[in-house]
Amino acid sequence: MDKKVALFPGSFDPFTKGHEDIVLRSLHLFDEVVIGIGHNANKQRYFPLEKMVAHISDTFRDHPNVRIKTYDDLTASVAQSLGARFLLRGLRNTTDFEYENGISQVNRYLSQHLETVFLITSPQFAPISSTIIRDVHRYGGNVNEFLPYRL
């Protein structure tokens, strides 16, 4: 039987409790979840990549079926190199769906064996976004309540 591997791609700048929730809820669906921290050409990172990898690694230290990979390539290509047949994405609202739907169709075009699986964000995490967390942090606000680790 083929191992069910899912790639959970994103910039994760930062990785939030909402992201953690999606990964934890997906573990019964997949044998392995790879959190793929991709380089987004349209974004300058706010939190250092090395620190984010360390925080995410620590968050999932008790889950050997979760690993982290950084990449600077097409997500579909990375999924193929990992043997992942699934892309995992979280949806907070209809705006997320519109955005993610287009991306999933392009990924499907690039790799016909790649399925995107959407999980709806748990209600308590729906208002949390990395953008909002960056803005609060930039102006000195405490963001630790929104993160599965301490900054």
What's residue 42's pLDDT?
79
Which residue range forms the structural domain that includes residue 127?
5-142
pTM > 0.85: yes
Q: Which residues fall within 8 angstroms of residue 26, CB to CB, at 6 or more apart? A: 6, 8, 33, 88, 117, 119
What's residue 40's pLDDT?
76
Q: Are the C-beta atoms of residues 3 and 28 closer than 8 Å to each other?
A: no
Is residue 149 in some structural domain? no
Is residue 147 in some structural domain? no
Omega before residue 9 within 30° of 0, cis: no
List of long-range contacts for 146-149, beta carbons under 8 Å, 24+ apart: 146/16, 146/17, 147/14, 147/15, 147/16, 147/17, 147/55, 148/15, 148/16, 148/17, 148/20, 148/55, 148/59, 149/55, 149/58, 149/59
Q: What are the tens digits of pLDDT across the range 34-92?
A: 999 998 777 799 999 999 999 999 999 999 999 999 999 999 999 999 999 999 999 99
Q: CA 135, CA 125: separation in Å to the nearest integer?
A: 17
Is residue 151 in some structural domain? no
Is residue 150 in some structural domain? no
Q: Mind telling me the catalytic residues?
A: 19, 43, 92, 130
Here the CATH number for the domain that contains residue 128 is 3.40.50.620
Share of the chain above pLDDT 70, in %: 99
> Number of structural domains, the chain?
1
